[in-house]
């Protein structure tokens, strides 16, 4: 029996509801398949913590997290009380950066039992590989002058290491899937970073002659996710482009409430972090009606990452059985509370 040590950070808002729900499911999968178990340590780091302590986590927070096998996070942010950039950069982005989680993996597929807002959603199933450590999300920049003369500069940084890592990961992933990679670019308008990105894409592509590689400008690509999502297999994009494209992916699946994500440390030095695409949704927090599927599908990505793809695949199948059976939270057009959905998944895993 191998016991994984998981740092659980529910965070803010609905994170505090969907993380416990997903952990029950995770335990049920482990119990069913056997051979592994999870030990969770919960950390209350959040905007509440910030308001009490003046920081999002203790000074040794990152040191504490380092020894875990994985970090399982809900959502961060409570913009009415703490500015987003303070809460997010103080916790979520701090973890992504400190632990070199350079890849943000975000699958999207047509789910059994869910209604896509698309009229004719062909059976799409793609994964976005988002560069997760640099690019447009950089602290380099600032402002100068006041009043009418004021201006802000924001510098995006694309290193070969960061760019190549994301692109190489995308090609390798495509090799295990349907063999196609599409790169999100905008080199017709953004004339330094994007031509560099394109060049690295071409170079890495040349090492993978077996993979069908193509590029599309991010504006066109955003539109294609609406008009022909079934044509994509692996999409690779910068931090910002990956962020935007994956929200569209979530929308066409039927809602941001189900979209999962993994922040992967691929050099094996540090723990990876698993947190769904959705945020803390303050407007429905505390009502017990949040959709737990994003967090549960994220748990599946954690199982995959820990080497238990069989369990991950089984879990996702059961989740789809439940949506197909019509048990859905409000955001998906149903009326089931959070725990009714997650416990039905547990129940089906136990029988």
The residues of the shown chain that bind a second copy, judged by CB under 8 A, are 77, 84-85, 88-89, 93, 115-120, 136-137, 139, 141-143, 147-161, 186-197, 218-220, 222-224, 226-227, 239-240, 243-244, 246-248, 250-252, 255-256
Q: How far apart are CA 272 and CA 17, in angstroms?
A: 22
Whether the CB-CB separation of 211 and 179 falls below 8 Å is answered with yes
Which residue from 41, 219, 310, 324 is in contact with ligand IPM, where contact means CB under 6 A?
219
**Between 24 and 89, whose beta carbon lies closer to ligand IPM?**
89
**Between 56 and 204, whose beta carbon lies closer to ligand IPM?**
56
- Binding mask 226-245 toward ligand IPM (x if CB under 6 A, else -) reads -----------------x--
Query: Residue 136's binding partner, choosing from ligand IPM, a second copy, none, with beta-carbon cut-off 5 to 8 A by kind?
Result: a second copy
Report the nearest approach of a second copy to the CB of residue 32 (Å): 34
Report the nearest approach of a second copy to the CB of residue 57 (Å): 18
Which residue from 9, 82, 88, 256 is in contact with ligand IPM, where contact means CB under 6 A?
88
**Between 220 and 287, whose beta carbon lies closer to a second copy?**
220
Whether the CB-CB separation of 293 and 257 falls below 8 Å is answered with yes
Whether the CB-CB separation of 266 and 102 falls below 8 Å is answered with yes
Query: Checking DSSP bridges between strand 36-42 and strand 212-217, what pairing results, if any?
Result: unpaired
Q: How far apart are CA 261 and CA 297, in angstroms?
A: 8
- Answer yes or no whether residue 122 interacts with ligand IPM by CB under 6 A: no
Report the nearest approach of ligand IPM to the CB of residue 75 (Å): 9
- Answer yes or no whether residue 188 interacts with ligand IPM by CB under 6 A: yes
Query: Residue 36's binding partner, choosing from a second copy, ligand IPM, none, with beta-carbon cut-off 5 to 8 A by kind?
Result: none
Task: Give the contacts of 142 (CB within 8 A, at least 6 positions apart).
Answer: 152, 153
Q: Phi and psi of 251, rounded to 5°?
A: -60, -45
Q: How far apart are CA 47 and CA 90, in angstroms?
A: 10
Rounded to 5°, the CA angle 319-4-64 comes to 115
**Between 33 and 217, whose beta carbon lies closer to a second copy?**
217
**Between 74 and 312, whose beta carbon lies closer to a second copy?**
74
- Answer yes or no whether residue 78 interacts with ligand IPM by CB under 6 A: no
The whole-angstrom distance between residue 184's C-alpha and the CA centroid of its chain comes to 18
**Between 41 and 219, whose beta carbon lies closer to ligand IPM?**
219
Q: Which of residues 47-66 bind ligand IPM (CB under 6 A)?
A: none
C-alpha neighbours within 13 Å on the C-beta side of residue 279: 11
- Answer yes or no whether residue 258 interacts with ligand IPM by CB under 6 A: no
Rounded to 10°, the helix 309-324/293-305 angle is: 160
Measure Cα distances from 323 to 254, 257, 333 in Å: 11, 13, 11
Report the nearest approach of a second copy to the CB of residue 216 (Å): 11
Query: Residue 149's binding partner, choosing from ligand IPM, a second copy, none, with beta-carbon cut-off 5 to 8 A by kind?
Result: a second copy
Q: How far apart are CA 77 and CA 49, in angstroms?
A: 12
The tokens of 320 are what?
């789809």
The tokens of 138 are what?
């950089």
The residues that touch ligand IPM, with contacts defined as CB under 6 A, are: 88, 188-189, 219, 243, 277
């Amino acid at each position: 029996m191998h016991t994984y040590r998981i740092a659980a950070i529910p965070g803010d808002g609905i994170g505090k509801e969907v993380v416990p729900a997903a952990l029950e499911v995770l335990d049920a999968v482990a119990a069913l398949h056997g051979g592994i178990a999870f030990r969770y340590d919960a950390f209350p780091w959040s905007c509440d913590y910030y308001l009490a302590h003046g920081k999002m986590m203790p000074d040794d927070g990152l040191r504490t997290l380092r020894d875990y096998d994985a970090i399982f996070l809900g959502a961060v942010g409570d913009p009415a009380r703490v500015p987003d950039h303070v809460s997010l950069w103080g916790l979520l982005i701090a973890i992504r950066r400190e632990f070199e989680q350079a890849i943000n993996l975000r699958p999207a597929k047509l789910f059994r039992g869910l209604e896509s807002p698309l009229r004719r959603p062909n059976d799409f199933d793609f994964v976005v590989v988002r560069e997760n450590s640099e690019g447009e999300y950089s602290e380099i920049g600032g402002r100068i002058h006041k009043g009418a003369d004021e201006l802000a500069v924001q510098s995006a940084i694309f290193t070969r290491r960061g760019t190549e890592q994301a692109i190489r990961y995308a090609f390798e992933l495509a090799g295990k899937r349907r063999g196609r990679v599409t790169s999100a670019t905008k080199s017709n308008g953004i004339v330094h970073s994007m031509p560099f990105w394109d060049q690295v894409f071409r170079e890495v592509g040349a090492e993978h002659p077996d993979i069908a590689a193509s590029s599309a400008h991010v504006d066109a690509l955003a539109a294609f996710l609406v008009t022909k999502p079934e044509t994509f297999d692996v999409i690779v994009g910068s931090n910002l482009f990956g962020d935007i494209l994956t929200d569209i992916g979530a929308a066409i699946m039927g809602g941001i409430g189900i979209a999962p994500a993994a922040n992967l440390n691929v050099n094996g030095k540090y723990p990876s972090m698993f947190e769904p695409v959705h945020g803390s949704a303050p407007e429905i927090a505390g009502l017990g009606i949040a959709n737990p599927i994003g967090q549960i599908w994220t748990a599946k990505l954690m199982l995959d990452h820990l080497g238990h793809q069989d369990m991950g695949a089984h879990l996702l199948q059961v989740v789809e059985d439940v949506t197909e059976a019509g048990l859905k939270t409000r955001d998906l057009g149903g009326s089931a509370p959070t725990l009714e959905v997650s416990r039905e998944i547990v129940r089906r895993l136990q029988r």
